[in-house]
Structure 1
Amino acid sequence: MRRPERAARRWNLLAAGLAVAGTCLGAGWWAARPAPGFGQLPAAAPAAVTVAPTPSATPSAAPPVAAPVVGRRLATPTVAPRPPAPVRLEVPSLGVDAEVVPVGVRGDGAMEVPDDPRRVGWYRWGPVPGAAGNSVLAGHVDTRSAGDGALADLAAVEPGALVRVTGADGATREFRVTARVAVDKEELPLADVFARQGPARLVLVTCGGPFDRAASRYEQNVVVTAE
């Protein structure tokens, strides 16, 4: 039996946070610009005045040749390689085997979710699975036209359940479910869900709870954390 189509989740990713990110990019671009005059040839130096040597019976030794001055090379900062982006999510105990695609932020500030309910979206502005912080993956619980979504049974996952994420490089990373909660959408702790520091965690999110027919949406979010 198909369930009603749920409305797109209203995760208000703070506009101020996005504005700060844009400012940082702007500042970085400005700092990387070359200094004025970079790449131009220097002006010709005035001709040196030479003095003829005094004649001598013994030829003088040739003047020493100055060693060329070599510019100091600046050290290149060492940056840890970032794990590849996720392309597949598996939760064997729930029968989940879904394609993962990168998503961003909609015009209203909410996180995008793939139109195809069989796919799961990875928040590409956050950490990659396996990197420090929370890697957020979200998907539909169901739709009117296609029935159950990839995360339809997420509310039934048990602590300790295995979660696999396959990266674009073919490598698979395994996580274990440590927590599952249902939260009213207005009370979703965004700072905790989208944390960028701390241990490498996987956060799976879908809709849940009672369905509000007047608003045409589920009233809660199901949030599962795996480490």
Structure 2
Amino acid sequence: MSIREWPAEERPREKLLLRGAAVLSDAELVAVLLGSGVAGRNVLELARGLLVRFGGLRPFLEADRQAILREPGLGPVKYAQLQALLEIGRRYLDETIERTPALESPEAVRRYLKAMLRHEASEVFGCLFLDTKHRPLAFEILFRGTIDRASIYPREVVRRALLHNAAALILCHNHPSGNSEPSQDDVHMTLALKRALGLIDVRVLDHIIVGDGEPLSMVEEGWIVA
């Protein structure tokens, strides 16, 4: 049965227009994005099959180009649309947090940092720079690759903090393995950065580690003291 023959309130696009995007399932959201199905499969069946094969919404959206192009009905245009969707989401969050009057919600900060880092296939290290009232000034990814004490340069972090005239900052990095537990290198590196930044009166408020599930706060877990 063609999806056009379904009742209007059951078609993903019409359902979104009638009741809002929040009521749609993951498969229905993907169906709206895809727009049309393939021979023998309507768009919702296609979307459901994709989520099953890739293991869920996030693995599907983060799949590389070759994996997407192997799927029937998905070509370079759809891949480009998926990448644009992800980048729009990241930029929206970036603008939203930069317009926030103050960081009153640690949960909001963790959600933001997770959105900015979780998609990264390799380890990256970044800083959220803050003013004297802990309002966001800028977010930057400073280092890429395997993150350890040897690959993080305190001088560069200090230089960027001075450039933004930051009074405080939140360190962050991701664990592509999904395990958010900090390593001893993470702890030593954080303490070294705290010492270096303390020399220019810039406070390190926290170090957030992004893995699967909720990001880990090294301050809340007692690994470091703010």
Shorter chain as denominator, the TM-score bin is under 0.3
TM-score, normalisation: structure 1? 0.24
- Output the TM-score relative to the length of structure 2: 0.25
Indicate the structure with greater strand content.
1
Judging by fraction of residues, say which structure has more helix.
2
Higher relative contact order (CA 8 A, sep 6+): 1
